[in-house]
Amino acid sequence: MGYGHTKGVRRGMTITQAQAEAFLQEDLEKFESFVDDAVQVSLTEDQFSALVCFCFNVGPGPKGFGGSTLLKLLNQGDISGAVNQFPVWNKVKGKP
């Protein structure tokens, strides 16, 4: 059981539902803070939530959300351009 948390996880490990939710809350706070700091334009609640989810999945660093064209376009006010960047991130090792 879990929601994608990886810090401190090891093979064969089990956690309770309460632990899974605590890990998720910890992760959300981290990624919410990163998105809040990185984005320089106003967002709707739904846009913010989508970016937190995106950041959680691709990572916050320069090879993920932090260095993405999506973030650059968004901060330039090009919402349509930023939206069009989401499909760019649908691959793992070059395959959808």
In angstroms, what is the C-alpha Rg of the chain? 15
Question: What is the average pLDDT across 31-53?
Answer: 96
Query: What would the mean pLDDT of 25-54 be, rounded to a whole number?
Result: 96
Q: Residue for token digits 């990624």? A: 31
pLDDT of residue 5: 84
Domain positions in the chain are 45-87
pLDDT > 70? residue 12: yes
End-to-end CA distance of the chain: 26
Contact assessment for residue 52 and residue 32, using Cβ atoms and an 8 Å cutoff: yes
Contact 64, 55 (CB under 8 A): yes
pLDDT score of 95 more than 70: yes
Where does residue 70 rank: exposed (0-12), middle (13-18), buried (19+ CB within 10 A)?
Answer: buried
